[in-house]
A and B are shown apart, each in its own frame.
Chain A
Amino acid sequence: MDLVASILIQLLNGVQYGLLLFLVAAGLTLIFGIMGVINLAHGSFYMLGAYMAWYFATMSGSLLAAILIAIPLAVALGLALEWLLIRHFYERDHLYQVLLTFGLILIFEETRSLLWGDDVQGISIPAALNYSIPLTDTLSYPVYRLMMSAVCLLIALAMYLLIQRTRIGMMVRAGAHNREMTEAMGINIRLLFALVFAVGVALAAFAGMLASPISSVYPGMGNQVLIICFVVVVIGGIGSVHGALVAALLIGLAETFGQVFLPQIAGMVVYLLMAAVLVFRPQGLFRKT
């Protein structure tokens, strides 16, 4: 394959990977920025989403059906978690949030192990999307991956509109800045925060579901994605959704190209990027609050 085609493929792969990271990182940065909670278990939702998709897809034969069943479950999980535990930790030191969510990771991992075992599972790409379209005369690209990117972009757009252009978005932003004031204005902060958390969980889980045919379903997938998303949030700036988008794309492209052209240190590229940002802009590229 010629170089141009190769680069084009990697470009598309990098963007697709970056957009997927964005889905997970957006939830993470919102929860950090709005509620001030650090949630190590966020990667576990990605993993749980993927496993749920696999389970229901195996039962029903359709990935789409599986996703439609799993998303409400993810939202329910998010709401339950927030109500039971997370909300009691909003005012507490980050240290205890770290500890709590670390314990949750262990619980989630073992629960998954109990329910679905520890094996790597595969999901087949839905037949309707399981083909490639030609991009040039020598090269074609999987439609499923293009669809993934399109879906992620749509969600990014929807988030932008929601946060910037609606009353709910305004309330969310207000709640982030000044909790007491927003409550005094009669807005139900508790409900708001619960929703934000649940949406964050659902986004991460959905990302896992979406990625599962491509990346397979395996136990460590949550941890891997989490660390990278931490770096995305650090680079993009806490609380900034568009920062997360830019940073996620940057990292997605850097990792993808790194793996092709510099395989030995591909894994390090992300951390080197982070180190560079720390040197020049320790608050991230687009720090909001």
Chain B
Amino acid sequence: MLNPTRVLLAVALVALIAFPLTGGGIFYIQLLTKVMILAIFAMSLDLLVGYTGLVSLGHAAFYGLAAYTLVIVQPGYDPMSILISLPAALAVCAIFALVTGALVLRTRGIYFIMVTLAFAQMVYFVFHDTPLGGGSDGVFINARPLVGWDEWRLLDLNDRTTLYFVVMALMVGVYLLLRRILDSNFGRALQGIRVNEHRMRAIGFPVFRYQLGAYVLAGVLAGLAGYLSALQFLFVNPEIISWHQSGAVLMMLILGGMGTLSGPIVGAFVFVLLEEFFKDDTVFGAFAKHWQLMMGGLIVLVACFLPRGLIGLVQRRRELGEAKHDG
């Protein structure tokens, strides 16, 4: 039962829990919160790419839609309950996923990649060039949503450490949820579709419906990440919908290890840490300004030499059905 990845994850979780309690600095708490939010984003993409085999280059659209929904739902200075803005954000993502998914899933392969990108660009355009949501400068959110209702408060998300633990709980929750779903009939069907879509149809699965389901679920989870991101920074701008964002999350996914669910978590951590490292002018001096060059080089190296990601270095890919944990 000592799966090396599980051990790694358990150790990491313990470390994450212990970190703020043993006096970690506010800067790092905020950084780790950002990383965990991106981990949720990356896991949602893994569902789509790694498990269903649908390579989407427009996943940032959901991230941004949820963030902007918070902005639009809560425009004033008075905070509103999270029970209003969060479901609204997730609903917007679900609807967008349903509508665009129905169109986008009529294509495959290269076409699919391009049309998902194009639809994300459409969303980018809406927030960049129209008055909806403040345009290219972005827009501030004036207060963090309340976890509570009327006068009752459960948690104060303005406290960095509280937010840290809430995000961590959500990250773990999303991980466990996806693990469970992937072990269900629905999840197994998705994986079958990834391996041999044609045969899945031939044995009687309405493939389109399953893919659409995966697309919507992935979109909603990406929306959760986007919402949390807006909540953390209280600032939203259209660049979070750019394809740099879609490309970055894809990179995190592959860097960590696609189709593993733990890979995207690892990938998010390593990616953000590397980004911080490349941007550090104490290490790179004036060249740090051009950190994207180094990041680009790293991405090229990963594409060439690390197709299974970091997790792939640690463990053999979990073959479906093998008598390991399921019995």
Are B103 and A103 in contact, with the CB atoms below 8 A? no
Pair count A-B, CB < 8 A: 121
CB of A83 within 8 Å of the partner chain:
no
Partner pick for A94 among B106, B109, B130, B307, CB 8 A cutoff: B109
> Count of chain B residues with Cβ under 8 Å from any Cβ of A?
41
Tell me how far the C-beta of B323 lies from the nearest C-beta in chain A, rounded to whole angstroms. Answer: 29
A sample of 8 cross-chain residue pairs with beta-carbon separation below 8 angstroms, ordered by A number, consists of A98-B55, A103-B299, A103-B302, A223-B243, A227-B121, A230-B117, A234-B107, A238-B111
Question: With A and B bound together, what is the CA distance between A38 and B116 in angstroms?
Answer: 14
B115-135 at interface with A (beta carbon < 8 Å) = 115, 117-119, 121-122, 125-126, 129-130
Partner pick for A267 among B104, B106, B129, B290, CB 8 A cutoff: B129
Are A104 and B300 in contact, with the CB atoms below 8 A? yes
List the B residue with the shortest CB-CB distance to A267.
B125
State whether A271 and B118 are in contact (beta carbons under 8 Å apart), knowing that A32-B110, A98-B250 are contacts in the complex.
yes
Tell me how far the C-beta of A24 lies from the nearest C-beta in chain B, rounded to whole angstroms. Answer: 14
Question: With A and B bound together, what is the CA distance between A235 and B251 in angstroms?
Answer: 28
Residues of B within 8 A of A (CB): 49, 55, 57, 103-104, 106-107, 109-111, 113-115, 117-119, 121-122, 125-126, 129-130, 243, 247, 250-251, 254, 258, 290, 292-293, 295-300, 302-304, 307
Partner pick for B114 among A92, A233, A270, A283, CB 8 A cutoff: A233
Residues of A within 8 A of B (CB): 32, 36, 38, 40, 85, 88-89, 92, 94-96, 98-100, 102-107, 109-111, 113-114, 223, 227, 230-231, 233-234, 238, 264, 267-268, 270-271, 274-275, 278-279, 282-284
Partner pick for A103 among B49, B114, B300, CB 8 A cutoff: B300
List the B residue with the shortest CB-CB distance to A32.
B110
List the B residue with the shortest CB-CB distance to A274.
B118
Are A107 and B297 in contact, with the CB atoms below 8 A? yes
Are B296 and A107 in contact, with the CB atoms below 8 A? yes
Are B247 and A102 in contact, with the CB atoms below 8 A? yes
Are B295 and A106 in contact, with the CB atoms below 8 A? yes
Residues in B whose Cβ lies below 8 Å from that of A110: 290, 292-293, 296
Are B55 and A103 in contact, with the CB atoms below 8 A? no
List the B residue with the shortest CB-CB distance to A224.
B121
Are B106 and A107 in contact, with the CB atoms below 8 A? no
List the B residue with the shortest CB-CB distance to A282.
B106
Are A111 and B110 in contact, with the CB atoms below 8 A? no
Residues in A whose Cβ lies below 8 Å from that of B118: 227, 230-231, 234, 270-271, 274
Residues in A whose Cβ lies below 8 Å from that of B126: 268
Residues in B whose Cβ lies below 8 Å from that of A238: 110-111
State whether A96 and B113 are in contact (beta carbons under 8 Å apart), knowing that A278-B104, A279-B103 are contacts in the complex.
no
Counting from the closest, the 4 A-B pairs by CB-CB distance are A106-B296, A103-B299, A110-B293, A107-B296
State whether A278 and B103 are in contact (beta carbons under 8 Å apart), knowing that A99-B254, A107-B297, A231-B118 are contacts in the complex.
yes
Are B299 and A102 in contact, with the CB atoms below 8 A? yes
Tell me how far the C-beta of A30 lies from the nearest C-beta in chain B, rounded to whole angstroms. Answer: 13
Q: Which of B57, B114, B250, B293 has the largest count of A CB atoms less than 10 A from its CB?
A: B114
Residues in A whose Cβ lies below 8 Å from that of B296: 103-107, 109-110
Question: With A and B bound together, what is the CA distance between A243 and B292 in angstroms?
Answer: 36
Are A234 and B299 in contact, with the CB atoms below 8 A? no
Are A234 and B125 in contact, with the CB atoms below 8 A? no
List the A residue with the shortest CB-CB distance to B255.
A99
Question: With A and B bound together, what is the CA distance between A95 and B113 in angstroms?
Answer: 9
Question: With A and B bound together, what is the CA distance between A109 and B299 in angstroms?
Answer: 14
Tell me how far the C-beta of A98 lies from the nearest C-beta in chain B, rounded to whole angstroms. Answer: 6
Question: With A and B bound together, what is the CA distance between A73 and B304 in angstroms?
Answer: 25
Are A96 and B303 in contact, with the CB atoms below 8 A? yes
Q: A94-B113, A107-B300 are in contact. List 13 more A-B contacts (CB 8 A).
A: A40-B247, A89-B303, A94-B109, A98-B247, A99-B299, A100-B303, A102-B250, A227-B243, A230-B114, A231-B114, A234-B115, A267-B125, A268-B122
Residues in B whose Cβ lies below 8 Å from that of A103: 251, 295-300, 302-303
Are B103 and A113 in contact, with the CB atoms below 8 A? no
Tell me how far the C-beta of A93 lies from the nearest C-beta in chain B, rounded to whole angstroms. Answer: 8
Tell me how far the C-beta of B129 lies from the nearest C-beta in chain A, rounded to whole angstroms. Answer: 6
Question: With A and B bound together, what is the CA distance between A98 and B302 in angstroms?
Answer: 12
Residues in B whose Cβ lies below 8 Å from that of A284: 111
Tell me how far the C-beta of A87 lies from the nearest C-beta in chain B, rounded to whole angstroms. Answer: 12
Question: With A and B bound together, what is the CA distance between A85 and B111 in angstroms?
Answer: 23
Are B304 and A111 in contact, with the CB atoms below 8 A? no
Residues in B whose Cβ lies below 8 Å from that of A279: 103, 106
Question: With A and B bound together, what is the CA distance between A102 and B251 in angstroms?
Answer: 9
Question: With A and B bound together, what is the CA distance between A44 and B150 in angstroms?
Answer: 53
Are A274 and B300 in contact, with the CB atoms below 8 A? no
Tell me how far the C-beta of A65 lies from the nearest C-beta in chain B, rounded to whole angstroms. Answer: 30
Are B254 and A95 in contact, with the CB atoms below 8 A? yes
Question: With A and B bound together, what is the CA distance between A103 and B107 in angstroms?
Answer: 25
Partner pick for A107 among B57, B114, B254, B293, CB 8 A cutoff: B293
Residues in A whose Cβ lies below 8 Å from that of B125: 267-268, 271
Residues in B whose Cβ lies below 8 Å from that of A268: 122, 125-126
State whether A85 and B304 are in contact (beta carbons under 8 Å apart), knowing that A267-B125, A282-B107 are contacts in the complex.
yes
Are B111 and A234 in contact, with the CB atoms below 8 A? yes
